[in-house]
Amino acid sequence: MVDPVTRRSADATRRTVLTGAVWSLPVLAVAVATPSASASTQLGRLAIETVGGGTWVDPESGYYGVTVQLRNNADFATAEPITSVVLTVTLAPGDVSDPPVPVVIANQGGSSPTVNLPTTDPTWTAGTAFPDGDGDIVYTLSYSGSIAAQTGVCNVSFGIQGPASGLVSPLTGTIVGVGTPSDGFTPSRTGTIY
């Protein structure tokens, strides 16, 4: 089992890829924070609950399709809602377009084809795509809304343009989420798309 706070699994290979099948990783257990003195002032705790993927087929270029479900996993239902999230996806440069282009959010138009992935909550926006200086490409996505404690979930589906030579399979990437306000826990998932 991969420790949820570890950015990369020690046994994960550098590259793995996707075909056309939708997949999901098993849910990882997430440690909970010690309850604060007053449950009403507890901050939220962001959790990456599920990750799935497949491919978007386009006559001129291919997209990796990914869907992520996030949850406010706070101990108490009275805890603060999470009102913003920044999600980052890190992939190897040879696995994506050169130069990298920002993700395309599903169900929000753009030049990507329609894909059979879960609906994106409407307040997600695409951010930047840039080399991180460590040899990887980082894509950012931003959420603004309200994810209630315990019952609140949020979904985002997006496409990342693959290289001109064709999509790589399997593909390994890391997804990290930062929620605000939250207790400071930063969930991370390293997964493989086939």
- Domain membership of residue 119 as a residue range: 40-186
In the chain, % of residues over pLDDT 70: 68
Q: What pLDDT, in 10s, does the model give residues 121-148?
A: 888 999 999 999 999 999 999 999 999 9
Evaluate whether residue 193 is within a structural domain.
Answer: no
Average pLDDT estimate for 7-15: 38
Question: Given this model, what pLDDT does residue 23 score?
Answer: 36
Evaluate whether residue 136 is within a structural domain.
Answer: yes
Check whether 171 has a pLDDT greater than 50.
Answer: yes
Check whether 26 has a pLDDT greater than 80.
Answer: no
Check whether 165 has a pLDDT greater than 90.
Answer: no
Find, among 52, 90, 43, the residue nearest to 184 by Cα: 43
Q: Is the pTM of this model over 0.95?
A: no
Identify whether the C-beta of residue 103 lies closer than 8 Å to the C-beta of residue 126. yes
Domain count, the chain: 1
Evaluate whether residue 132 is within a structural domain.
Answer: yes
Q: What pLDDT, in 10s, does the model give residues 85-110?
A: 999 999 999 999 999 999 988 766 44
Question: Given this model, what pLDDT does residue 87 score?
Answer: 97
Find, among 55, 16, 29, the residue nearest to 170 by Cα: 16
CATH number at residue 111: 2.60.40
**Greater model confidence, 21 or 110:** 110
Please report, to the nearest 10 degrees, the dihedral formed by the alpha carbons of residues 160, 82, 179, 176 taken in order: -40
Question: Given this model, what pLDDT does residue 20 score?
Answer: 36
Question: Given this model, what pLDDT does residue 57 score?
Answer: 53
At residue 56 the predicted structure's pLDDT band, cuts being 50, 70 and 90, is low
Evaluate whether residue 64 is within a structural domain.
Answer: yes
Evaluate whether residue 12 is within a structural domain.
Answer: no
Evaluate whether residue 84 is within a structural domain.
Answer: yes
CA distances from 6 to 10, 11, 140, 155 (A): 9, 12, 19, 22
Question: Given this model, what pLDDT does residue 19 score?
Answer: 34
The label of the residue with tokens 């130069």 reads 99
Evaluate whether residue 30 is within a structural domain.
Answer: no
Question: Given this model, what pLDDT does residue 38 score?
Answer: 45
Average pLDDT estimate for 53-63: 63
Evaluate whether residue 13 is within a structural domain.
Answer: no
Identify whether the C-beta of residue 142 lies closer than 8 Å to the C-beta of residue 127. yes
Average pLDDT estimate for 67-86: 94
At residue 189 the predicted structure's pLDDT band, cuts being 50, 70 and 90, is very high
